[in-house]
C-alpha cells in the first residue's frame, strides 16, 4: 500500500497582500539606508553607499532594516510580531 502525501492548495495573493509586501520591501530598503547613515559612524564601519561591501556593512544595513520594519509594524498593528 502506497501512502500519498496530502495536497495543499495555496490561494493566490490578494491585492492587499501584494501591496503590503511591496511596502515592506520599500521600508526595508529605507531602513537599510538609515542604518548605514546612523549606525555606521557609531560602530566605525564604512557603509555600502561608500562602495565598501563588507560583512560589517551588510550587518549594519540588516540591523537598520530590521529596526525600521519593527517600528513600522508597531505603529501599524500596535504590537510586535
Q: How far is C-alpha 39 from the geometric centre of its chain's CA atoms? A: 16
CA–CA distance, 73 with 56 (Å, rounded to integer): 26
pLDDT of residue 30: 92
What is the chain's pLDDT, residue by residue, as a tens digit (81 residues)? 677 677 777 777 676 666 677 888 898 899 988 888 888 889 888 877 777 788 888 898 899 999 998 888 888 776 555
Domain boundaries, the chain: 26-77
pLDDT of residue 79: 59
Cell digits for 10? 495555496
CA–CA distance, 65 with 68 (Å, rounded to integer): 5
Amino acid at each position: 500500500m502506497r501512502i500519498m502525501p496530502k495536497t495543499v492548495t495555496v490561494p493566490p495573493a490578494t491585492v492587499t497582500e501584494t501591496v503590503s509586501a511591496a511596502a515592506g520591501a520599500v521600508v526595508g530598503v529605507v531602513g537599510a539606508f538609515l542604518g548605514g547613515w546612523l549606525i555606521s559612524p557609531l560602530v566605525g564601519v564604512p557603509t555600502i553607499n561608500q562602495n565598501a561591501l563588507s560583512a560589517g556593512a551588510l550587518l549594519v544595513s540588516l540591523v537598520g532594516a530590521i529596526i525600521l520594519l519593527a517600528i513600522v509594524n508597531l505603529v501599524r498593528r500596535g504590537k510586535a510580531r
